[in-house]
Structure 1
C-alpha cells in the first residue's frame, strides 16, 4: 500500500488522468462549437437546458460514487489478513452495487415520469421528450461506478482513462453526425437536441462495455455472495453515501450552478419582457462560457482525482512522508493554472467568442463568466484534499452556502442585469465557497499554503502577459482591419494572442521560479517546464 500511493504513483496517476481529462475536455469544447454553429444559439439553449438535468445524476453515481468506492476499497486494502480483506472487498462491492441499483431506478422514475413537470418548471414544455430520453443513461450507472472505483482503488488508472476518452469520442461522433443529419433534413432544433442527449446515453454504454471487458480479462467474473447481513450493509451504505455526496458536490458544483440557470434565466428573461426566441438565444449565448470553463479547470480536476487516495493514505501514517508537500503543491498548481487560464480567456474573449461562435455578442458577460475558473479550481482540489482527510460535513456545508447564494443572487440580479447577473452570481457563490474552504483547511492543518513571494511573482507574470496580449491584439486588429473578414481577424488575433500570452506567462513563471524544479517534476507535463526553467536560470 505504501508503494501504491507514493510519490511515483501520484505522478503517474495524475499525469494519466490529466491526459485523459484534457482529451475529454478538448473534445467537449470542440463538439460544442460545431454543434452551436449547426443549430445556432436557440438550438444551443435547448441542449444546455437539459444537459445539467441529466448529467447531475450521472456524475453523482458514476464519478462521486466511483471515488467514494475507490477510497473505501483502498482503506480496506490496509487490512493485513488476506482472507478478511478479500471478503470485506466483495461485501463492499456488492452492497454498493445493490444500493446504486435502487438509486438509479429511483432517478429514472423521477426523470422519465416527471419529464413534463421538469420542463414546465423551466418554462419550456417542449424539453420534456429530451429529458425522457436522457433518463435512460442513469440505468448504466451502478455497474459503471463499481468498475471505476475498483480500478482506481488498485491504482490502475489506464482503463478509466481509456473509458473516458472512448465515451467522449463516441458521444461527440453521435452528436455531430446526428445533428448534421437532422439539420439537413427536418431542421428541428428540438430534434437536434434529442440526438445530442442520445449521444450521451450511447457514450456511457460504450464506456461500461469497455470497462466490463477489461475487468473480465484482468480479474475474471465477480463472485457473488448469496446473502448479506443487514448489520454489515447499513454502515457501508451510510459511508458510501456521505463520501459520494461530499465528492460529487464538488464535482457537481458547476453542473449545479448550470441547473439553477436552467430553471431561472429563461423564465426570468421572459418575465422581463423578452420574446421567447430572444430569451432562448440570449441564454444560448450565455451558455457559450461553459465549455471554456471546463477547459480551464482540467488541471485542477485531474489533480483532485489523483490526490484523494494519496492524502487518505499519507494522513494515516505516523512516520515518513506527510501529505503537506502534496497539499501545498496542489494548491499552488491549481491557483497558478486556474488564474492563468481565466486571465487568458478574459483578455481574448471578444475575439475567441467570434472565432468559435460566429459573433462576439455578450462578450462582457462571458468575461465575467470565465472568472469562475479561479475559485472553481481551488474548490475542486480542496474538497479532494479534505476528502482524503475524511472531512465531509463542513466542506459540504460550504458548498451548500455558495449554492444557496447563487440561487438567491440569480433571482435578484437577472431581473436587474440580465444574464450578466447570473454570471456575477456564479463568481460570488464560488468565491465564498473557495474562501471558506481555504480558511477551514488552514485551520485544520496549520500549514502555510503559499508564501507572499508566490503571489507577487504570479502577479508580475500576469501583468506582463496582460500588457503584451492587449498591445498585440490592437496591433493585429489594426493591420488586418481591411484585409480579412471580422471572423478571420478574430481567428488570427485570438490564436496568436493565446500563444504569445501563454509563452510570456510561462517564461516569467519559469524565470521567477514560481515553482521549483522538483515541484514541476511532480506535476503532469511538468518535466519539460522544469528543463526550460533550468535552462533559463542556468547563468545563475
Structure 2
C-alpha cells in the first residue's frame, strides 16, 4: 500500500511538472507579442539578437543539467555517495558558469561586432549574469527531482517565468515612456531573465531549508566519470531545444550582417530581422503538443522498455503519430491564416510569406522533440547528437549560401532544410532500433485529406468573410478573421480525424488533455 501511495504521489508530481513546463513554454511564446507591440520590429530585433545566448544557459540548466543530476542521484542509494556526486557536479558547474560568464561579459564587444551591431554589447554583458545562477539552480532542481519532490521544481519553474515576464513587460513600458531607447528596453528584457533565475533559486532555497542534513560525509569517487555522465546526459536531454537555439544563434550572426552587405539601410535591416523573428513565438506555440507528449508519454516508454521490452512499441507509435498529427495541423493552420494572425499579433502583415515558410519548422521540430525523447528512453545518446549537429551545420552553410542569393526568406528555408534533414535521419535511426512501422499508410492518407479539407474550408470562408467584413479594416478585421478561420479550420481538421478514428479512443486518453477528443470521437462515430 505504501509503495502504491508513493507511486501515485510520484505520478502526481510528474504531471504537475509537465503542466508547469507547458505553462512556461506558453508564457515564453506569449510575452513576446506585447513586447513586440511595445518596442516595434527594431526593438524586437534587438532582443532576439541576444535571446539565444541567454536562453542557452537557462535551457541547459533548467532542463538538461537538472534532469541529469536527478537521474544520477536517484540511481544512487548511499547518502554519502549522493553528497559526493552533488559536490563534484556543483564544482564542475561553477567552473562552467565562470567560463560562460567570462566569454559573454568580456567577449561582449567582439560578439556584438560579429553580429554587426556593437550596441548589443551591454545586453550581452547583462545576460552574462544568468550563467552565474546555473550551478545553484541546476543542483537544487536536480536534488528535488531525485527525491520525487516535483512540486517545488514545478512551482519554481512557473515562478521564474512569471517574474521574468513581469520584469520584461513592466520594465519595457517604463523605458518606452521615458528614454524610448530600444536598446535600453532590450537590456531590461535581458535583465528579466537574470531576475527570474534568482527568483527561482530563492523559492527553491525556501523549500529546501528544512531538509538540510549535516550528518553525512563526502567519500572519494571517480570525478571524471561523474563529469562525463552529467555532461553527456544533460546535453542529450536538452538536445532538441538547444538545436533550435543554435539555429537562432546562426541567424543572429548572419541575417542582419548579410542584409547590410546587400546594401540595405541599417534601420530597414533591423526591421526585416525583427519581422522574421516574429516566427519564433509562433513556432514555440506550434510545438506545445509535441513538447507535452515528450514530457508525458516518453517516461512511459522508458518504463515499458525496462519492464516489457517490445511493450513500448504502441507508445512509440502513438507519440510519433500524435506529434505529426498536431504538428501538421498547426503548420497548415498558421500558413493559411498567416496574414491575419500576423497583423492581429504584431500590428502589420509585413513579410507574411516569409513567416509562412518559418512556421513549416513546426512539423520537423515536433518530430525531433519526439524522436530525441524516445531515443533517450532507449538510452541512445551519441547518434542523435551527431544527427542534430549535422542539421546545425546544414543550417549554417545554407544561411551563408541562401541569404545573399534570395534574401531573408533564405534563412527560413535554411532552418527548414536543417530540421527536416535531422528529423528524417532520426526517423530512420528509430525505425532501425524498433523495427516496426511507425504509422500505417492509411494514417498518412487521412492526415493529407484532413489537411487539404482544412485548407479548402479556410480559403472559402476567408473569401466569404472578407466580402462581409470589407467595411472593417486593420487589426479589428484581422482579429475577427483570425478567430473565425482558426475555429473553422480546427473544427474541420479535428472532425475528419475523429471520424476516421486513426487514433483509437483509448489512445486519446493517454495523451495530455486528450479526454475531450476521445469523447467527441465516441459521440461522432455513434451518430446514425
Q: Which residue of 2 aligns with 1:425?
A: 414
1:140-179 → structure 2 map (5 Å cutoff): 140-179=133-172
Q: Which residue of 2 aligns with 1:455?
A: 444
Measure the CA separation in 1 of the matches of 2:451 and 2:525. Answer: 20
Choose the corresponding residue for 1:288, options 278, 281, 301.
278
Mapped pair 1:91 → 2:84 = yes
> How far did 1:228 drift?
4.5
Q: Which residue of 2 aligns with 1:261?
A: 251
Which structure is higher in RCO with an 8 Å CA cutoff and minimum separation 6?
A: 1
> How far did 1:502 drift?
1.4
Cα distance change of structure 1 residues 240 and 261 upon mapping to structure 2, 3 Å threshold: same
Choose the corresponding residue for 1:393, options 356, 376, 382.
382
Cα distance change of structure 1 residues 355 and 222 upon mapping to structure 2, 3 Å threshold: farther
Cα distance change of structure 1 residues 496 and 157 upon mapping to structure 2, 3 Å threshold: farther
Measure the CA separation in 2 of the matches of 1:188 and 1:478. Answer: 41
Cα distance change of structure 1 residues 13 and 518 upon mapping to structure 2, 3 Å threshold: farther
Q: Which residue of 2 aligns with 1:303?
A: 293
Q: Which residue of 1 aligns with 2:525?
A: 537
Cα distance change of structure 1 residues 342 and 11 upon mapping to structure 2, 3 Å threshold: farther
Q: Which residue of 1 aligns with 2:320?
A: 331
Measure the CA separation in 2 of the matches of 1:205 and 1:93. Answer: 20
Q: Which residue of 1 aligns with 2:94?
A: 101
> How far did 1:310 drift?
4.0
Contact preservation (8 Å) 1:358, 1:487: yes
Measure the CA separation in 2 of the matches of 1:168 and 1:159. Answer: 14
> How far did 1:25 drift?
3.0
Cα distance change of structure 1 residues 159 and 25 upon mapping to structure 2, 3 Å threshold: same
Measure the CA separation in 1 of the matches of 2:215 and 2:259. Answer: 54
> How far did 1:205 drift?
1.2
TM-score (norm 1): 0.92
Choose the corresponding residue for 1:416, options 402, 405, 408.
405
SS in 1 for 2:477: helix
Contact preservation (8 Å) 2:57, 2:130: no
Q: Which residue of 2 aligns with 1:203?
A: 196
Q: Which residue of 2 aligns with 1:81?
A: none
Contact preservation (8 Å) 2:83, 2:218: no
Contact preservation (8 Å) 1:64, 1:251: no
Mapped pair 1:369 → 2:358 = yes
> How far did 1:2 drift?
9.5
Q: Which residue of 1 aligns with 2:458?
A: 469
Contact preservation (8 Å) 1:94, 1:224: no
Measure the CA separation in 1 of the matches of 2:71 and 2:436. Answer: 24
Contact preservation (8 Å) 2:84, 2:218: no
Measure the CA separation in 2 of the matches of 1:538 and 1:167. Answer: 46
> How far did 1:223 drift?
4.4
Contact preservation (8 Å) 1:62, 1:144: yes
Measure the CA separation in 1 of the matches of 2:5 and 2:253. Answer: 44
TM-score (norm 2): 0.94
Q: In the TM superposition, what whole-angstrom CA distance separates every residue of 1:407-450 from its partner, at most 9, and x where no partner exists?
A: 00000001111110000001110000000001001101212211
SS in 2 for 1:450: coil
Cα distance change of structure 1 residues 468 and 454 upon mapping to structure 2, 3 Å threshold: same
> How far did 1:201 drift?
0.8
Measure the CA separation in 1 of the matches of 2:88 and 2:310. Answer: 34
> How far did 1:323 drift?
2.1
Cα distance change of structure 1 residues 373 and 155 upon mapping to structure 2, 3 Å threshold: farther
Q: Which residue of 1 aligns with 2:306?
A: 316
The number of residues matched between the two structures is 527
Contact preservation (8 Å) 2:160, 2:199: yes
Q: Which residue of 1 aligns with 2:212?
A: 221
Cα distance change of structure 1 residues 33 and 372 upon mapping to structure 2, 3 Å threshold: same
1:64-75 → structure 2 map (5 Å cutoff): 64-75=64-75
Cα distance change of structure 1 residues 212 and 10 upon mapping to structure 2, 3 Å threshold: closer
Q: In the TM superposition, what whole-angstrom CA distance separates every residue of 1:113-167 from its partner, at most 9, and x where no partner exists?
A: 1111111110111000000001111111112112222333444433333222221
> How far did 1:492 drift?
0.6
Measure the CA separation in 2 of the matches of 1:479 and 1:223. Answer: 73
SS in 2 for 1:514: coil
Mapped pair 1:241 → 2:240 = no
Q: Which residue of 2 aligns with 1:133?
A: 126
> How far did 1:71 drift?
2.9
Q: More displaced, 160-169 or 382-391?
A: 160-169
